[in-house]
Structure 1
Amino acid sequence: MSEGIDLNDIKRRMDGAINAFKHDIASLRTGRASANILDPVTVEAYGSRMPLNQVANVTVPEPRMLGISVWDKSMVNAVDRAIREANLGLNPIVDGQNLRIPLPELNEERRKSLVKIAHEYAEKAKVAIRHVRRDGMDGLKKAEKDGVIGQDESRATSEKVQKMTDDTISDVDRLLAEKEKEIMQI
């Protein structure tokens, strides 16, 4: 650790941006069913908005089907409405206290729009990573100006921060390429 900045903290914050990106792209729908598709859905329950997974179990009984078991029978209609209003293109079938959601095939236009969304998520992650780098570089400049570290150490540490940034951004690009391939696969 340099006196000016904590490289472990910078690495931890960059890894946080990667993890947020992974979470974002996991919710993008590909050709097969995934319980993560319903992560953005919130249900009006008991006077407040709650994530779907706090009022029901989400399962994947078949490759193109999602199953939802609502814990409270009075919440079935609210869960149904929340899924329909989430603009995910899903139409649940109510079956007692359970809902079944058949996943339609993705057409070319929808695949391309999902890839666009994935690119937006990637750009958001890259911006977050660059902000972390900027904070680290500002800390280094301040430490050098205050005389805490010398020019040589400042230059060496800034090169380490830049290498961390480049590596993390290449990880985002790799994850994006994998997700894009997965989405476009028929």
Structure 2
Amino acid sequence: MAGHAARLMKPMFPLMYSPIGRIGTNTCKRLQWNHQIGQSCSRLPISVIQPTTVELMQCSAIHTTQILAKKDKGKKKKGTKVDTTTSADTSILDLGEVKRDMDKALEILKHDYIKSLSIRSSHGSLDHIQVETSDGKFPLNHLAQIATKSNNMMVVNMSNFPQATEAAAQAIQQSGMNLNPEVDGHTIKVPVPKVTKEHRENLAKVAKTMCNETKVNIRNVRNKYATIIKKHGQGKSKDVVFKLEKQIQQLLDESNNSATDILAAKTKELLGK
């Protein structure tokens, strides 16, 4: 019988280590083993079969630790932020210049929103419309004189570029602002639509397009300075170059978030929410 008990007492699991300690781990193994052998332990000494309260708590703590460790393993680690107040190497890059260029793109977006997008259409809302001509694409306000004739009518004078009149009318119609231009010689009359839900939604789409264009401009700023880092960072410490790249990437992310916030505020205004 002693030999039988000895065989039963042989560990069935490899030894594990945990913050609880070796004793708690062995106890946990023994509890698993006792559970498996069931009634075969009925003739073993009670101290072998029955765990103490402390041992039960240790076993539970080990299992909890293992479960939490698995959960933490599956989580993505977020990248740590870097300090963008000072350049990692001012001889390579002026970080303030990067920020100014990105901020400039954001200011242009704000200005264009005020000038071009409002619930009541104004002549400023036509300025940014791109017109396809034989010489390339041009903003409408580069080809024509735009004026507000009344609260219900805008007038586009194409006398400086009469050959682009039809193309301009088509561009206005396809602008997504629910406009139906009427061509009269070298003049395009644009009736101002009533403020409808569809009109508000179309303006919101235009706002999103303008925001995406701003993000492209911000990304171009990042690419410009990334090239500078690559060029002037030759022979410098890899850690310094890496930190500079992280700094301009973080400025890009922050500027994109600002552009998204500006868009959200403008969309809320346009949709009347």
Gaps of 5+ in 2: 1-86
Mean Cα deviation higher: 12-21 or 103-112: 12-21
Q: 2:264 aligns with which of 160, 167, 177?
A: 177
Q: Which amino acid aligns with 1:53?
A: N
181 and 62 in structure 1: CA distance in 2 versus 1, 3 angstrom threshold: farther
Taking structure 2 as the reference length, what is the TM-score of the superposition?
0.47
Query: 1:82 matched to which residue of 2?
Result: 167
Mean Cα deviation higher: 159-168 or 59-68: 159-168
9 and 56 in structure 1: CA distance in 2 versus 1, 3 angstrom threshold: same
Deviation at 1:10, TM superposition (A): 1.7
Is residue 92 from structure 1 mapped to residue 177 from structure 2 by the alignment?
no
Gaps of 5+ in 1: none
Q: 1:33 aligns with which of 111, 118, 121?
A: 121
Q: 2:148 aligns with which of 39, 42, 60?
A: 60
Deviation at 1:35, TM superposition (A): 1.9
Deviation at 1:26, TM superposition (A): 6.3
91 and 83 in structure 1: CA distance in 2 versus 1, 3 angstrom threshold: farther
Partners of 1:154 and 1:23 lie apart in 2 by 35
Mean Cα deviation higher: 57-66 or 90-99: 90-99
Taking structure 1 as the reference length, what is the TM-score of the superposition?
0.63
Deviation at 1:54, TM superposition (A): 4.5
Deviation at 1:141, TM superposition (A): 7.5
Root-mean-square deviation (CA), in Å? 4.3
Q: Which amino acid aligns with 1:62?
A: S
Aligned residues: 179
Q: Whose relative contact order is higher, 1 or 2, with alpha carbons under 8 Å and at least 6 apart?
A: 1
Partners of 1:145 and 1:117 lie apart in 2 by 43
34 and 150 in structure 1: CA distance in 2 versus 1, 3 angstrom threshold: same
Is residue 119 from structure 1 mapped to residue 119 from structure 2 by the alignment?
no
Instruction: Indicate the percent of aligned positions where both proteins have the same amino acid.
Output: 28
Deviation at 1:176, TM superposition (A): 0.7
Contact kept in structure 2, 1:57 and 1:70, CA below 8 Å: yes
